[in-house]
Chain A
Amino acid sequence: MSTPILETRNLDKAFGAVIAAAAVNVRVEAQEIVGVIGANGAGKTTFVNMVTGYLTPDAGTILYRGRDITALPPREITRLGICRSFQIPQLFPGLTVLDNVLVALGIASSRRLGFWRALRSPARIESAERLLADYGLSEFRDRMITVLPQGVRKLLDIAMTTVGRPAIVLLDEPTSGISVEEKFPIMTTILDALRATEATIMFIEHDMEIVERHAARVVAFYDGRVIADGPTREVLTNADVRQYVIGAELHRRR
């Protein structure tokens, strides 16, 4: 049996009396596209926060290519090749779109940050423009973040996440706060760009149509536990998932 690219073993996390994760075991193979579903408060974001070092689990182990990364800080996990986007886009609001990407490229381009090499080198600007084009953001190049619509911010957040060509990308609700008309094309743009990098993708999503369309496998959370894990169709038709995650009524209507 090959070593999975990411594996969590018995992850526990509690915030006072609230149990956010209870014995969470997830195993992800390289280049899989995994959808993560669950109602609000089910433990999806806690899972992503633990894997990316934002939260330290109370118990359990996180392994990346067999290496224990449980206690590592976010920057070291990022350097190893696990990157994430955020539910609320984490950008540099006082800078332009281009400068946001240039900072991301500058940090990703070397382990030791240069004291002298100009951030705005022609080669780096060209790379930044290429990345913006991949995500359909070229027209926003010189705009400040504060004037961008939510969908564009989401795309930029994800584009910045991928500059270091990570091995695993965790997307926290990439389509939340985006209009129904924009959701599908934005998700297609994101996944097309990510597939080109051959990254393993895990995305948290509430829209089951998006999950069904893009995920090959689904992990369903409820009350801090994984209640189903397997091929998309199988999980989405699972009785527990229908009851606790999708909602029986909603499912019946579909």
Chain B
Amino acid sequence: MRGPAVAIGLPFLLFCGLIAAGFLMPGWLRFITLIALAKGLVVLSLMLLMRAGLVSFGQGLYYGLGAYAAGLGVNLLKVTEALALLALGVAVAGAVAWVLGFLLTRYREIFFAMLSLAFSMILYGLLVKSSALGSTDGFNLPTPTFLGFAFAGTAARHALFVLTASVAFAAALLLHRYLGSTRGYLGEAIRENEIRVEYLGASVRGALHVKYVLSAALAGAGGALTAVATGHIDPDLAYWTTSGEFVFVAILSGTGSVAAPFLGSFVFEMIRTYAFAYSPNTWQMVVGATMLLVIIFMPGGLWSLFRRRPRLVTRS
């Protein structure tokens, strides 16, 4: 059994190492890592639902909402602070999920997946038709301030990296704690047997509703950070292929740990970047082949590489 010092110290060391690496790595790699961390939050949100047996094919809804909330926060409300934009993205995504959750938590399996997809496509349709929001072109965002400091150029990119890594680290830690609590672990129990959960005295729909809102808030955070990082927003953020990509990365990652989505997201971004660089017309084939190999050889996702294997028992 790991001691508490290792359990707390190791993630913190990794986080410090990541922050330090952010200052040392080349700009292109820092950007890819930043995007991987932001999208990793969305994959983390999917992991939360998948542990409860729900697969959402519409997480682009909250990714897009988080991004647009941050973008409109800058352009309409004149909010310039990055943390405030992040909070806005989280709040809008969470609020919409709270409303939709009353309907969606009634459904399971393919019905939940398709209904979540339908809602994301409604948002996509609205955004595409809305000329005030830039229609299919979207709109740009200026660089925000960080805790009141206005950075520019490389300093701004470093500040954004530190912010994104900190949010990802905090979200992973909080979610880890939550998943180990009674309410958090209820997801596994619901996935296994809803009837038993109700007959133990817990509300299945209530528990799923909480998870759905938390999941949306995480995806909204990912969207807001992506918007701030790229400085541009367009309806593709809510398109079904974006949602599909998150599911793809969630399967690639595995659901064994809160660190898995970030690892999977980084691996995916690297594969895509190199595949696109070396084979611009067939990069999807490389990504697809990778997925095939992972499913065949690592059904538990990339995280299964880090799981301790049971020791072989030898007979004396």
Contacts and interface: CB of A to CB of B under 8 A. Distances in A.
Interface stretch (A7-15, A56-64, A103-111, A202-210): A103-111
A117 B178 CA distance: 8
Interface string B188-207: 11011101111111110001
B180 interface: yes
B168 interface: no
B186 interface: yes
A85 B161 CA distance: 53
B177 interface: yes
Interface of A: 52, 73-75, 78-79, 83-84, 90-95, 102-104, 106-110, 113-120, 160-161, 163-164
B18 to A, nearest CB: 26
A78 B201 contact: yes
Contacts of B195: 90
Given A103-B185, A103-B189, A115 B201 contact: no
Interface in B152-201: 177-178, 180-186, 188-189, 191-193, 195-201
Contacts of B207: 113
A95 B185 CA distance: 11
Given A94-B192, A120-B180, A107 B185 contact: no
Q: Is the interface of B mostly helix, strand, loop or mixed?
A: helix
Interface of B: 177-178, 180-186, 188-189, 191-193, 195-203, 207
Given A74-B198, A75-B203, A84-B199, A103 B186 contact: yes
Most buried by B among A90, A93, A103: A103
A118 B180 contact: yes
A119 B176 CA distance: 12
A160 B192 contact: no
B198 A106 contact: no
B178 A116 contact: yes
Given A90-B193, A106-B182, A115-B183, A95 B188 contact: yes
A101 B207 CA distance: 19
A118 B181 contact: yes
Contact of A104 (B180, B184, B188, B200): B200
Contacts, number: 91
B181 A92 contact: no
Contact of B202 (A84, A93, A113): A113
Contacts of B188: 92, 94-95, 103
A194 to B, nearest CB: 17
A93 B202 CA distance: 18
A93 B192 contact: yes
A33 B195 CA distance: 26
A71 to B, nearest CB: 15
Contacts of B191: 94
A117 B202 CA distance: 16
8 contacts: A75-B199, A75-B201, A90-B196, A90-B199, A103-B182, A108-B201, A116-B177, A117-B182
A113 B192 contact: no
Contacts of A73: 198
Given A91-B192, A108-B200, A113-B202, 4 more contacts: A75-B201, A90-B195, A107-B182, A118-B180
Contact of A114 (B183, B196, B199): B183
Contacts of A119: 180-182, 184-185
A115 B184 contact: yes
A79 B201 contact: yes
A109 B201 CA distance: 10
In the A-B complex, the 5 residue pairs with the closest CB atoms: A106-B182, A92-B192, A78-B201, A113-B183, A90-B196
B199 A78 contact: yes
A115 to B, nearest CB: 5
Nearest to A124: B182
A79 B203 CA distance: 11
Given A92-B189, A92-B193, A95-B192, A107 B200 contact: yes
A207 to B, nearest CB: 25
A102 B182 CA distance: 9
Contacts of A91: 192-193, 196
B189 A83 contact: no
A79 B199 CA distance: 9
B189 A75 contact: no
Contacts of B183: 113-115
A114 B177 CA distance: 11
Contact of A115 (B181, B196, B198): B181
A92 B183 CA distance: 16
Nearest to A85: B199
Contacts of B185: 102-103, 106, 119
Most buried by A among B177, B199, B207: B199
